[in-house]
Structure 1
Amino acid sequence: MPEALLKEPLNLLSRADASRKIANGKLKVETKSAFGQYMTPATVASFMASLFPAPSSQNIRLLDPGAGVGSLTSAFVEHLCKGKNGYRIDLDAYEIDSVMRSYLEKNLDLCEITAAKSGGSVAWRIIAEDFITEASKKAASLNSLWPEKVDKYTHCIMNPPYKKISSASRHRACLRTAGIETVNLYSAFVALSLLLLEKGGYLVAIIPRSFCNGPYYRPFREFMLKHAAVRRIHLFGSRNKAFREDKVLQENIIVALEKGGLQKGVTVSTSTDDTFSDTFISDYQFREIVREDDKELFIHIPATPEADFLDDAKAFNYSLSQLGIQVSTGPVVDFRMKDHLKAMPEAGTVPLLYPCHFKGQSMQWPIVGGKKPNAILCNKETQKWLYPNGFYTVVRRFSSKEERRRIVASVVAPAVFGGVEKLGLENHLNVFHSNKGPLTEALARGLSVFLNSTAVDDNFRRFSGHTQVNATDLKLMKYPSRKALIELGQWAIKQGELTQDMIDEEMERIAE
């Protein structure tokens, strides 16, 4: 290292952030998309580094998979080397992109200088290999009959790539050799890193929130909770602020995990954005994060320290199966039934309902000149996909990113269609039904009132960070009794048009 650098005033993280911006400008959009990698801003990197507890040893083995230009490692070193502590850091930094590696080398040189000033040292190596391939080999060897010696890490800091893994891909095959079953690069990076940590080792990662619920990530949730204790979760109030420069709309969280730790309480913090200027911290019991009776292991993240309204209210403690109600995705997949779809109703057709036919508490059908068909032929090829005409509660599967609510419920009102016997319900709707038959009007409207309450929307956001509402999510929620839902529906019928305040006040009344 040039001695002249030792005389320069160093701000390690600001140097790394400057190189991040330069490198980011050189990367092609296609390259970013192919690797699924978005580099970490300095404020986020610094916050993540602060989440590590004080090391119990002077000797640290640090893993930074997908290191980029070294922002996270720079933040880690800067945080650790504030005093004359003499930490000896051995770093493995994985980075496959040649543009970023050139900046990474320079920033790791600066890490060496910073550590030396505090009486410590940084010994680093850049590994220009695919992390999943290399780490899977190491992890698999740990479980073999003749395990190889693998030097495990004490710390890991990461911003892994985000990209789906095909079930037939090389990455999926590699992961299976290590006993890992997961569907995205980011969850694969976390799982492999946990295997390569020693007991008591700490991992801090910024990752999408999508793993918190849904069936596809259940094996990963099970793996993570088996191998580590959750110590900290940080939630951003604004969806698009963690990686604002890259216009990433994926909702991200920061997690801190302790390998092999005893699971106790979990600290949850929130901030509006990546300035962390309004960070609010609360402690929760683990059973408030992962429910004891939840076989799916959904991870709930409370956004406020107040007790969750639905959890507190004993009146809301019924499963759909106990109520004799089912929920399914709408059975009509339009692109598979193109030959049977009609723009407008005509002889031999029945109504076909899309999300666009529902506007709040009202229905609009047919929509003249709309983009979606309004009808489907009723014949021997389509009949098995149709429901009897009647009252149903429907919830859109997808809401727009800008929409205030995640759960938007409406009621299918059969009088709109006249005397038809059947209905088509398209696949972008979740449908509440009774053994594929209609509900009573009061029950359908009561369900709609309950699902449209602020309490339900807030509760749903505790475990779901994306805009999709799956039937599985709705099945796992707790509901009022059938009697209470019918009373809600009867109240709604008498009121006519409902406001949000009216719904929330009535919900509080039935919870008492």
Structure 2
Amino acid sequence: MASVMERAALTRIDAIRMTSDERRNAFAQHLTPPETARLAVSMFSELSADQLFVRCLDLGAGTGMLSVALYDRYDGHIELLDAVEADPVLATICDAELATIGVPHELFQEDALVGTPDKLYDRIILNPPYKKMAASDIRQSILPCRSANLYSAFMAVGLSRLAAGGELVAIVPRSWMNGDYFRSFREYALGNFSLDAIHVYGSRSEVFSDTKVLQETMLVHFSKRKQIERIVVSQSVDKDGEIVRTSYHPQELIDPKELVVRIAPEDANGLSETIASLGLCPSTGKVVDFRNRERIFEERPEGDDIFPMIYAGNFHNGELEHPLRIGKPQWYQAKTKDLKALRQLIKPGAYVAVKRFSAKEERRRVVAYPLVLTGDVALENHVNFIHAGIPRNVVPLRSVELARGLSMWLNTTYLDTWFRGVSGSTQVNAGDIKAMPCPSLEKLEEVGLIWRADMGQEEIDRICKTLVQN
């Protein structure tokens, strides 16, 4: 006879086959594979000697895979399991699956953000939808904290339903761990609950491969109690891979000032400054191309009001090349009376450009270039740039040497390792750049004197090693 998990796995496969990609996208569904479900529920504590049964909640229950895994994990010692699922098709499947197995449950066909029962639970598990949540969404007002994404909103709702000593495990992207977008969530979660454990996967495509989800996925375990003294960090290449576990003191992983959560302890090697503390300001390129179609051109038109349009693809072989045939418009028009267009231009001077988007599989997550301008340019939104002003008043860096030295530093293996330990996102945002450890401006200018566009990784690392105190 098939086990309850084997049965649940077949139900999941059938649901995937009968559901179109369009419907799954509409509900942001990525149904949990059995291997991930088993690992997720294994992160929960054993029942205590005086605890015969647990009260459970599954938010965004899908076909019931995580509910079944919970039932299997506690060998049926579940007093009641509440499952919340918005999709009426999956809700029906989940209800039937749990009833057939014999799980004592109640199914709520509801939006979890507004329809989750107002009860307290001992164990809460969730694999929530991943989709941006607008600041104007009316549901924001009833959440425990502001949320930039549905997944962190689901987590916040789950945390708010934990009984004293209760535990929550979520299967989510890593992006909540850093950046300004999720700061409100981190303030709520880290300020009121204990971060107990995290598990990260080495492959973005592996965990939900059969539903075509590409995400840097992690499992995170919180509990409603004072922060515990050791946080367990585990890693595996994929959902079936060998698991390596390490434990750390909370202060090694949680930065109380920047409120950033790291995968591994920070090794600053004596660096006490950051990009922000040195008075440098990262900003995002001002031109969103699809909103400026009437201003951008493939070929240079006639006139004096035409300026270079710079994309990430214009940085080639270590430096800026323009114009360049990369399938993107290379020219931007800012007419004298078009004040909006004029405000989007960046003035001549020295800056550092940093690509906003990278993938975990890329050789480097942080990719930087010196951006030395002799005239006004338009910088596309997928490129960050570092300057010496404030967000609303861009001021060039004090020297070309500083731009070159800073770009070298940001391209080091040291900085890349630091960023991979901090960031759970494929994006390198301005908020991430502010927190990056950095040598003094004087030291950066010194190495900037020997910058070359064709420098290889080993040479960059060897030269910039002198910037780090041993």
The two structures share one fold, judged by TM-score above 0.5: yes
SS at match of 2:191: helix
Label 1:353 to 1:168 Cα distance change in 2 as closer, same or farther (>3 A): closer
8 A contact 1:354–1:428 mirrored in 2:
yes
Label 1:178 to 1:391 Cα distance change in 2 as closer, same or farther (>3 A): closer
Does residue 44 of the first structure (1) align with residue 36 of the second (2)?
Answer: yes
Within the candidate set 357, 361, 364, 2:321 is matched to 364
Within the candidate set 331, 343, 362, 2:286 is matched to 331
Which residue is equivalent to 1:443? 402
RMSD value, Cα: 2.4
SS at match of 2:425: coil
In percent, how many aligned pairs have the same letter?
Answer: 35
SS at match of 2:451: helix
8 A contact 2:144–2:188 mirrored in 1:
no
Within the candidate set 87, 108, 111, 1:127 is matched to 108
Output the TM-score relative to the length of structure 2.
0.90
Letter in 2 for 1:320: I
Which residue is equivalent to 2:186? 221
* Greater shift in the superposed pair: 386-395 or 264-273: 386-395
Deviation, structure 1 residue 61: 0.5
* Greater shift in the superposed pair: 222-231 or 360-369: 360-369
Within the candidate set 385, 403, 414, 1:431 is matched to 385
Does residue 204 of the first structure (1) align with residue 196 of the second (2)?
Answer: no
Deviations 1:135-186 (A, max 9, x none): 2x73xxxxxxxxxxx4x211111112222233344533xxx23543213222
Listed as ranges, the matches of 1:492-507 within 5 Å are 492-493=451-452, 497-507=454-464
Which residue is equivalent to 2:122? 154
Does residue 250 of the first structure (1) align with residue 215 of the second (2)?
Answer: yes
SS at match of 2:443: helix
8 A contact 1:43–1:274 mirrored in 2:
yes
Which residue is equivalent to 1:118? none
Which residue is equivalent to 2:242? 278
Which residue is equivalent to 1:69? 63
Which residue is equivalent to 1:291? 255
* Greater shift in the superposed pair: 317-326 or 203-212: 317-326
Look at both structures and tell me which one has the larger radius of gyration over its CA atoms.
1
Letter in 2 for 1:290: I
Listed as ranges, the matches of 1:446-485 within 5 Å are 446-485=405-444
Which residue is equivalent to 2:336? 379
Listed as ranges, the matches of 1:28-177 within 5 Å are 28-56=20-48, 57-81=51-75, 87-112=77-102, 122-135=103-116, 138=118, 150=119, 152-172=120-140, 176-177=141-142
What is the CA–CA distance in structure 2 between the aligned matches of 1:424 and 1:164, rounded to whole Å? 27
8 A contact 2:369–2:407 mirrored in 1:
yes
Letter in 1 for 2:106: R
What is the CA–CA distance in structure 1 between the aligned matches of 2:275 and 2:46, rounded to whole Å? 47
8 A contact 1:340–1:376 mirrored in 2:
yes
Deviation, structure 1 residue 360: 4.0
Label 1:339 to 1:205 Cα distance change in 2 as closer, same or farther (>3 A): closer
Deviation, structure 1 residue 470: 1.2
What is the CA–CA distance in structure 2 between the aligned matches of 1:352 and 1:88, rounded to whole Å? 61
SS at match of 1:328: strand
8 A contact 1:443–1:482 mirrored in 2:
yes
Letter in 1 for 2:110: E
What is the CA–CA distance in structure 2 between the aligned matches of 1:301 and 1:283, rounded to whole Å? 11
What is the CA–CA distance in structure 2 between the aligned matches of 1:193 and 1:336, rounded to whole Å? 38
What is the CA–CA distance in structure 2 between the aligned matches of 1:43 and 1:226, rounded to whole Å? 31
Label 1:375 to 1:27 Cα distance change in 2 as closer, same or farther (>3 A): closer
Within the candidate set 234, 259, 263, 1:301 is matched to 263
What is the CA–CA distance in structure 2 between the aligned matches of 1:272 and 1:461, rounded to whole Å? 15
8 A contact 1:360–1:408 mirrored in 2:
no
Structure 1: runs of 5 or more not aligned: 1-8, 113-121, 139-149, 415-419
Which residue is equivalent to 1:143? none
User: Stretches of 4+ moved more than 6 A in 1?
Assistant: none
Deviation, structure 1 residue 320: 2.8
Letter in 2 for 1:158: L
What is the CA–CA distance in structure 2 between the aligned matches of 1:197 and 1:45, rounded to whole Å? 20
Letter in 2 for 1:104: C
8 A contact 1:77–1:111 mirrored in 2:
no
What is the CA–CA distance in structure 1 between the aligned matches of 2:231 and 2:83, rounded to whole Å? 29
What is the CA–CA distance in structure 2 between the aligned matches of 1:332 and 1:107, rounded to whole Å? 50
SS at match of 1:92: strand
Deviation, structure 1 residue 335: 4.6
What is the CA–CA distance in structure 2 between the aligned matches of 1:321 and 1:178, rounded to whole Å? 31
Deviation, structure 1 residue 30: 2.2
Output the TM-score relative to the length of structure 1.
0.83
SS at match of 1:491: coil
What is the CA–CA distance in structure 2 between the aligned matches of 1:79 and 1:335, rounded to whole Å? 50
SS at match of 2:261: coil
Letter in 2 for 1:293: K
8 A contact 1:17–1:41 mirrored in 2:
yes
What is the CA–CA distance in structure 2 between the aligned matches of 1:422 and 1:161, rounded to whole Å? 42
Label 1:483 to 1:51 Cα distance change in 2 as closer, same or farther (>3 A): same
